[in-house]
Amino acid sequence: MEKRNSDPALKKRIFDIIQIGNKGDVPSRAFDLFIVAVIIVNILIAFLDTFDELAPFYTAFGIIEAITIGIFIIEYILRIWTSDCLYPDSGGGKAALRFLFSFDGIVDLLTILPFFFLDGFIVFRMLRVVRIFRLFRVNAQYDSFNIITNVLLEKRNQIASSVFIIFTLMLASSIGMYGAEHEVQPDVYQNAFSGIWWSVSALLTVGYGDIYPVTVAGKIMGILTAFLGVGVVAIPTGIISAGFVEQYTKKKNADITFNDVKELGEIMVTPGSGLEGMTIQEIEAEHETRVYMLLRDELTIVATGDVILKTGDILIVRTDKLVKK
């Protein structure tokens, strides 16, 4: 009986330790750092293994890589074993299958496979790059990466619009350049795809120089495309930069409470703050504040008494005592 009772507790403890991003648990945080170190060593070995000058150390590299892969295999087995803690609504077998076919499970498997099939098909050798994505799995649970993810998710419509503009300009400039240069340089501008290669390098201000216009019309088009490229690159850059400012502002406001507001201030409705679902009238009565307006996503809402707060809302408030003065 004791063994049966201790096994679930042991499994839960191991799950807590190997679970990525469990900041409050010192062993779990230490395990995260250890795994990051192992991944970096593994990637470094794969990098150094490409240098012929380091051939005398290939044997040592192979031993180190085998040790790191062994650690990955142990971690992979532990994650399969504790998968029912990750998916408590599924049984043992179903939970294991859910993990195996999840993004994390696939990345873990593809990290291990290249070691055993490195001399096989080229696809397995290319899978060595996949191990780099394990770093994203670790970093994804921490604030720095979460901010990047939130920015991309919140600004996805604007980013998609800017990408569509880039694609349209790229297609137009490639067809135009093909029409202007094909007769003069048939070997260089063989088809519209050759024009696309040129337009990408021009619009993104890279300019490889392997394909370039020689006619007057082509050069004029090249000048216009280069100028447009500067503006095109600036569009998504500005969108993402503005998103970062918004996210850092929200993160800063998330730690502010009503007691911190001396005059005018911003209060953010965060999960677990107790403000979700409350109305403006209830907030003003309970915290003795005056709510002037409400920022929700990209909207500015008039703070009427019956407005219900949602997670992510930002309240522009002023203490009621100061208002009375």
Domain co-membership, 133 together with 24: yes
Query: Is 80 within the bounds of a domain?
Result: yes
DSSP 159-199: HHHHHHHHHHHHHHHHHHHHHHHTTT-TTTS-SHHHHHHHH
- Beta bridge partner(s), residue 265: 317
**Is the residue at 205 inside a domain?**
yes
Return the half-sphere exposure (C-beta side, CA atoms, 13 A cut-off) of residue 175: 5
Q: Give the residue numbers spanning the domain of 294.
A: 255-324
Residue 61 belongs to a domain with what CATH number?
A: 1.20.120
pLDDT given at position 269: 77
Please check whether residue 86 lies inside any domain of the structure. Answer: yes
> Quick one: 9 and 96 in the same domain?
yes
Beta bridge partners of 82: none
What is the end-to-end Cα distance of the chain in Å, rounded? Answer: 69
CA angle 21, 68, 25 (to 5 degrees): 20
pTM (2 decimals)?
Answer: 0.55
Domain boundary among 251, 272, 307: 251
- DSSP 3-state percent helix, strand, coil across the chain (nearest 5): 65, 10, 25
At 52, is the secondary structure helix, strand, or coil?
helix
Domain co-membership, 192 together with 78:
no
Q: Given pLDDT bands bounded at 50, 70 and 90, which one contains residue 2?
A: very low
Question: Is 211 in contact with 198 (CB distance < 8 Å)?
Answer: yes
- Of 39-48, 68-77, 175-184, 242-251, the one with minimum mean pLDDT is 242-251
